[in-house]
Structure 1
Amino acid sequence: MQGSANLNIMIKAARKAGRSLVKDFREVENLQVSTKGAGDFVSRADTAAEKIVFEELTQARPNYGWVGEESDPVEGKDPTRRWIVDPLDGTNNFLHGQPHWCVSIALEHKGEVVSAVVFDPAKDEMFVAEKGGGAWMNEMRLRVSGRHRMIECLFATGLPQAGRSGLPAAMQELGRVLPAASGVRQWGAAALDLAYVAAGRFDGYWQRRLSAWDIAAGMLIVREAGGLVDGIREGDDPLERGEIIAANEGVFDAFAKAVRG
C-alpha cells in the first residue's frame, strides 16, 4: 500500500512504540510474583509508549491536536486535525503475559477519521487504512468475511471489568447472540478485535463503554475492508457514545438485531 505522508508518520510512530513495548513485555513474566510490581511496571511501559508516539507525531505535525489515553488533550493550532491514540490497547493481556495487545493511532480531520494504524508488535501485524484507500495488513489487502448466516459466525465482544457498571446489559446481549452464533470471544483488545473483523478473523464485534481511542482506528479499518459500523443504538456515532457494532454486510442486520434486542 502506498500510504500518505501522514500514514507513514503513523506507521513509524507505531513501530517505534511497539519496539519499546516488546522489550518491556519480555520482562513481564519476571514480575508476576508481585501483582503490584507487575502492574506498576506495565503502567510505566504504557506511559513510555505514549510518550514515544506523542513525540514522533507532534514533531512531524506540530500543529495537530492530540487526545491519548494516558495524557491530557492538546488543542492544536490546526483545529481541524487531531491524533487519537491508545499506546497500549489490551493492557490486561500485557500485564498477564498474553501476546494480544496493540498500538492504535487514528488521524481525525473535521470530525472524521481519515487514517488509521493498529499495530500488533507481538505478531508483527500492521493493520492500516486511509479513507478511500482500502485496508491492509502488512502487504495484504483486507476484506471482511463473506459469511451471512449467524450460526456460522464467530463474534467478539468485551465484558465489564470489576467495579464497572453494565454487566447485566452485557449478559443479556450475550444471551441473545450466543445461541444464534458459532461462538463469541472476549480477547480484551478492542482495536485488535476490530482489525480482526476487517481481516475476516471475526465476523462481527460489539461493545459498550469504550473511549474514542479504543475504536477510532479500528472503525476506519473495518469500513475500508468493506464492513459496516454503527452505534448500538442505531444511528449513534460510536466515537461520541462509546458503543459500537461492526460486522460484514451480509450478517450485520441480523447481528445488530440480536445485540440490540
Structure 2
Amino acid sequence: MHPMLTIAVRAARAAGQTIMRAYTELDRIEVSTKGVNDYVTNVDKEAEAAITYQIRKSYPDHTIIGEESGENAGTNKDFMWVIDPLDGTSNFIKGIPHFSVSIALQYKGKTEVAVVYDPVREELFSAVRGKGAKLNDFRVRVGDANETTHGIIATGFPFKARQHTETYFNMLAEVFNNCADVRRTGSAALDLAYVAAGRFDGMFEIGLKPWDILAGDLICREAGATVTDFVGGHNYVQTGNIVAGSPKITISLVKTLRPLLSEALKR
C-alpha cells in the first residue's frame, strides 16, 4: 500500500471510531451553528483532531486543511491534506446512519491519495492517482450506463445557498424527467464514492467545498468516471458545482443542466 494511503486509512478509521462511539449516545452531542443551516458538533471537532494526530505522527511538516479548524500550516507546503471529519453532520445529529469521513492528500496541487470512509457500514473507498480505486480490498469501476434514462442520479439540495433554489429545482425537474430516479442522501463524499462503485450512475450538486469534493473526485476518476463543472469544464473544485458519472452520463447531465444555469452558475 502507498505509505501515505496507509496513514490516510489509519486516520479515517480513527475518526470513524470517534464518530461511532458518539453515535451510540446522540443525546450527549453538543451542537452549534456555524452559519445558515450549517451545523457543527463536538464530534466533528474530535474526529478532526483524531485525523490530525494520525497525520502529524508521520508527517509533522505537512499542511492540513480541515473543515472545522481551517488551515494548520506546516513547513512543507507542497503536501496538503484536505479533510472533512464528518460529511453528513445533519444526518449524524438526527441519527440517520449515512455519513462519512473524507481525506485527500494533494502534492503540488494534484490529489494523490484519497479515502472516503463510511463507519456505519465499515466501507472504505480509496484511490491512489494512477493506481485505480477500491472499496475495501476490491477494485471498483464506474457503471456502464450509456444514457440517463435508466439511471439513478444522486444530488444534494443547495440548503446553504438558497439563492439558487429556483434554478436548482428547474435543473432537478429536467434531470428527473430524463432518468429512472433520483437520490438525495446527505453526504456528497459518499455520493461520489457510490458513483465510483457503480451504485449511482451519476451525481450533480451546487456549492460544495473542496473538503467535500477532493477525495471523492479522485476515487471517481480512478474508477473511470468523468468529473466536470456544470459547463463541462474543470473548475468544479473552485466553484463547488460538480457533475460526475460515467463519461456518457456526465455528458448527458451537462447537456441537460447547461441551458438552465443562472449567470451565477455559469462561471
Q: Same fold (TM over 0.5)?
A: yes
Q: What is the RMSD computed on CA atoms of the aligned residues? A: 1.6
Gap regions ≥5 residues in structure 2? 33-38, 260-267
**Aligned residue type for 1:243:** N
**Aligned residue type for 2:145:** R
CA displacement, residues 126-175 of structure 1 (integer Å, 9 cap, x when unaligned): 00000011000011110000011211100011102267432112101102
Aligned to 1:5: 3
CA displacement, residues 236-260 of structure 1 (integer Å, 9 cap, x when unaligned): 4221111111011232211211122
1:51 matched to 2:49? The reply is: yes
**TM-score with structure 2 setting the length:** 0.91
Q: Distance in 1 between matches of 2:250 and 2:5?
A: 29
Q: Distance in 2 between matches of 1:52 and 1:237?
A: 31
The structure in which a higher percent of residues are strand is: 2
How high is the sequence identity, in percent, across the aligned residues?
Answer: 38
* Aligned-residue offset at 1:187: 0.5
Aligned to 1:120: 118
Q: Is the 8 A contact 2:189 2:212 kept in 1?
A: yes
Aligned length: 253
**TM-score with structure 1 setting the length:** 0.93
* Aligned-residue offset at 1:42: 6.4
Q: 2:31 aligns with which of 25, 36, 39?
A: 39
Q: Distance in 1 between matches of 2:237 and 2:54?
A: 24
Q: Distance in 1 between matches of 2:229 and 2:65?
A: 21
CA displacement, residues 204-225 of structure 1 (integer Å, 9 cap, x when unaligned): 0111111000010000000000
Q: Is the 8 A contact 1:38 1:95 kept in 2?
A: no
* Aligned-residue offset at 1:185: 0.9
Secondary structure of 2:177's counterpart equals helix
Aligned to 1:34: none
Larger mean CA deviation between 119-128 and 64-73 belongs to 64-73
Aligned to 2:180: 182
Q: Distance in 2 between matches of 1:153 and 1:59?
A: 44
1:144 matched to 2:139? The reply is: no
**Aligned residue type for 1:165:** Q
